[in-house]
């Protein structure tokens, strides 16, 4: 082939590629799933069903070519929501979604997202802690007792030390057993700290914290004839300190709205004796053929039943109470000290926990039955709180089932929501903040409460009035708390406000956060 022919062929290929790119650029955008929330009250009477209305909405935003095609908009609507949530799941392009969002009756559109499980059966609670590393600091696979990493000649007839991480805890025991080991010492790493979680192992095993794990490893490495004995000595009661905040517990702060404390409260959720299905082994491993009616479980799924049960008891004792009243009773009577009379500790660090870890404290059902005072909130109060969040009218309508609900602007700031916790946020140009609270007397009709407030390094706290005199049951009285900055702190400060009448202690945690000038 001569030089002219080569150049001509190159020119033709260039034109072909350019034409192909033009065609590609003209192809429709990729469709993906969107969740579309609709205002069902806006459906015109000309439609016989909401699904028919939704279908017309989708058809109005698709291209003319597709609209007149064989399939039209069939198959675009994946699901029709018609119970607690009204709307549809539909396949749309990004451009179509933008057009649809502008139409009447469409309240909000959200792209489909994949949410990770965060319950008792989620990976972390099963021991699937990841420790990703691709450099020389990567842990030795055999130290993690991963499948295929143990030499039967070395571990046969021995107790094996295994680090937590990568694989489930019970699976490590299975690996040890299959390699001929007779027992396992499961040691925490820095990621797990000193928190211990019980498991249904397939061989004798013991779980230990990071500190003891380092000591045992040192002993094993420095003694050629190191020995160990694993013995079950029964259930030990009166563990100290107790309770502690679980390492896996959901933490604050609430970055969406710092004025609302996260979490509200903590409850028992580690090593809980719980009912268990007979269709699955207690270890959940396919090689485990044991079947039991009860199991030892840990996680949010274990703490939630405790709170739900106590809430049911409160509702039985006080059927007239609102959900907010019950939450208030649970939060204001919670305790923040362990059985050593010290502050609650964080199991992941062994350091004292803060309201960002334990919320208002550990749940106390006996005290919650008779809280003395409650902070009540009605639906309009919650809506007024949303009105402080700079939401558009359409966004506000998402949270209101009735279109006639509107903002009365009764809350000056988000912190004025009548919440049982107090969280104030100083912007970089503010030095004084005042929040308001209203309490309802659910104790003796004639009651007198005095206030006590924790001292803070960075702010002066003033409560007015300092005494609340009730003359009847269910009477409401209000007070205000003024915070004046003395020294701006680089980290949040924590404390509490307590109303006392000699019998009841109604405690609200206080969190003060300063935004430093940029």
Q: What average pLDDT does range 401-413 have in this prediction?
A: 82
How sure is the predictor about 18, in pLDDT bands with cuts at 50, 70 and 90? very low
The lowest-confidence range among 62-76, 170-184, 265-279 is: 62-76
> What are the pLDDT digits (tens) for 39-48?
888 899 899 9
Q: Which helix (H) or strand (E) holds 296?
A: strand 294-297
pLDDT of 490 reads: 93
pTM: 0.76
Per the prediction, the chain carries an average pLDDT of: 86
Please report the domains of the chain, with CATH numbers, ordered by start residue.
32-111 (3.30.70.80), 139-222 (3.50.30.30), 258-355 (no CATH), 364-514 (2.60.40.2310)
Between 99 and 442, the higher pLDDT residue: 442
Is the confidence at residue 252, as pLDDT, over 50? yes
SS3 481: strand
- In this predicted structure, the answer to whether residue 122 has a pLDDT above a threshold of 80 is no
Summarised one tens digit per residue, pLDDT across range 300-326 is 889 999 999 999 999 999 999 999 999
- Taking the alpha carbons at both ends of the chain, their separation in whole angstroms is 68
Q: Residue 127: which pLDDT band, with cuts at 50, 70 and 90?
A: very low
List of residues 6+ apart from 297 with CB closer than 8 A: 120, 272, 274
Q: Is the pLDDT of residue 225 over 50?
A: yes
- Mean pLDDT throughout 396-417? 84
Kindly indicate the confidence band of residue 126, based on its pLDDT and cuts at 50, 70 and 90. Answer: very low
Residue 325, pLDDT score: 98
Which residues lie below 8 Å from residue 240, measured CB to CB, with a gap of 6+? 338, 339, 340
Residue 4 confidence (pLDDT): 43
* 347-389 confidence digits (pLDDT tens): 888 899 999 999 999 999 999 999 999 999 999 999 999 999 9
Q: With 80 as the cut, is the pLDDT of residue 11 above it?
A: no
For residues 255-279, give the mean pLDDT: 92
Q: Where are the alpha helices (DSSP H) in 124-209?
A: 152-155, 169-178
Phi first, then psi: what are they for 18, rounded to 5°? -60, -45
Coil, helix or strand for 63?
Answer: coil
SS3 per residue for 366-418: HHHHCCCEECCCCHHHHHHHHCCCCCCHHHHHHCCCCCCCCCCCCCCCHHHCC
């Amino acid at each position: 082939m001569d030089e002219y022919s080569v150049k001509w062929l190159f020119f033709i290929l260039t034109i072909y590629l350019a034409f192909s790119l033009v065609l590609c650029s003209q192809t429709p955008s990729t469709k993906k799933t969107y969740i579309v929330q609709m205002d069902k009250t806006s459906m015109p009477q000309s439609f016989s069903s909401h699904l028919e209305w939704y279908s017309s909405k989708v058809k109005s935003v698709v291209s003319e070519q597709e609209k007149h095609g064989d399939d039209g908009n069939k198959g675009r609507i994946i699901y029709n929501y018609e119970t607690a949530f009204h709307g549809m799941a539909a396949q749309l392009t990004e451009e179509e979604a933008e057009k649809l969002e502008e139409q009447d009756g469409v309240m909000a559109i959200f792209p489909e997202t994949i949410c990770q499980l965060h319950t008792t059966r989620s990976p972390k609670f099963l021991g699937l802690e990841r420790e990703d590393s691709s450099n020389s600091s990567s842990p030795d696979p055999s130290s993690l007792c991963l499948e295929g990493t143990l030499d039967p000649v070395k571990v046969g007839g021995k107790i094996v030390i295994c680090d937590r991480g990568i694989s489930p805890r019970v699976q490590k025991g299975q690996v040890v057993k299959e390699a001929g080991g007779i027992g396992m010492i499961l040691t925490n790493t820095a990621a797990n700290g000193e928190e211990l979680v019980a498991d249904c192992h397939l061989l004798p095993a013991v779980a230990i914290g990071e500190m003891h794990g380092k000591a045992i490893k040192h002993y094993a490495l420095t003694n050629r004839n190191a020995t160990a004995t694993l013995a079950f000595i029964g259930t030990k009661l009166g563990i100290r300190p107790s309770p502690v905040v679980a390492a896996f517990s959901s933490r604050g702060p609430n970055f969406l709205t710092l004025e609302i404390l996260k979490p509200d409260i903590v409850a028992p959720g580690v090593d809980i004796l719980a009912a268990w299905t007979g269709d699955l082994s207690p270890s959940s491993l396919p090689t485990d053929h044991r079947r039991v009616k009860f199991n030892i479980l840990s996680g949010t799924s274990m703490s939630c039943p405790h709170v739900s049960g106590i809430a049911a008891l409160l509702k039985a004792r006080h059927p007239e109470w609102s959900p907010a009243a019950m939450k208030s009773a649970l939060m204001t009577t919670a305790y923040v000290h362990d059985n050593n009379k010290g502050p609650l500790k964080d199991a992941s660090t062994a350091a004292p926990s803060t309201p960002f870890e334990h919320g208002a404290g550990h749940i106390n059902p006996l005290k919650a039955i008779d809280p003395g005072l409650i902070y009540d909130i009605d639906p309009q109060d919650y809506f007024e709180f949303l009105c402080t969040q700079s939401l558009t009218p359409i966004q506000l309508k998402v949270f209101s089932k009735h279109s006639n609900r509107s903002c009365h602007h009764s809350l000056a700031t988000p912190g004025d929501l009548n919440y049982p916790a107090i969280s104030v946020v100083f912007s970089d140009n503010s030095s004084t903040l005042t929040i308001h609270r209203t309490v309802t007397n659910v104790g003796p009709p004639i009651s007198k409460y005095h206030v006590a407030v924790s001292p803070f390094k960075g702010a002066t706290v003033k409560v007015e009035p300092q005494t609340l005199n009730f003359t009847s049951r269910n009477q409401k009285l209000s007070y205000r708390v003024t915070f004046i900055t003395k020294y701006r702190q680089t980290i949040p400060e924590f404390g509490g406000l307590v109303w006392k009448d000699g019998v009841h202690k109604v405690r609200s945690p206080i969190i003060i956060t300063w935004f430093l000038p940029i």
